[in-house]
């Protein structure tokens, strides 16, 4: 089953950790605007998605089963 990721922009502080940990899934530009670039996260990227969720310093990322 695929996963989806959501960023809570009220919590995100734009440090780009997610984009460094999982560049296939998250982006973060120079101004600190983060985004989810994959609508559905395939199984092979599951571990990276979970790692990014755990490593986000502000707990802004939620990853759930699609």
What does the binding site for ligand SF4 look like in residue numbers (CB under 6 A)?
A: 7, 12-18, 26, 28, 34, 56-58, 60-61
Q: How far apart are CA 54 and CA 31, in angstroms?
A: 23
Give min distance, CB of 45 to ligand SF4, in A: 16
Nearer to ligand SF4, 26 or 49 (CB): 26
SS3 for 8-64 is CCCCCCCCCHHHHHCCCCEEECCCCCEEECCCCECHHHHHHHHHHHHHCCCCCEEEE
């Amino acid at each position: 089953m695929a996963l989806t990721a959501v960023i809570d922009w009220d919590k995100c502080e734009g440090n780009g950790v997610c984009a460094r940990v999982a560049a296939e899934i998250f982006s973060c530009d120079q101004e600190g605007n983060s985004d989810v670039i994959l609508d559905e996260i395939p199984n092979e990227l599951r571990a990276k998605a979970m790692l990014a969720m755990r490593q986000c310093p502000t707990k802004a990322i939620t990853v759930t089963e699609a």
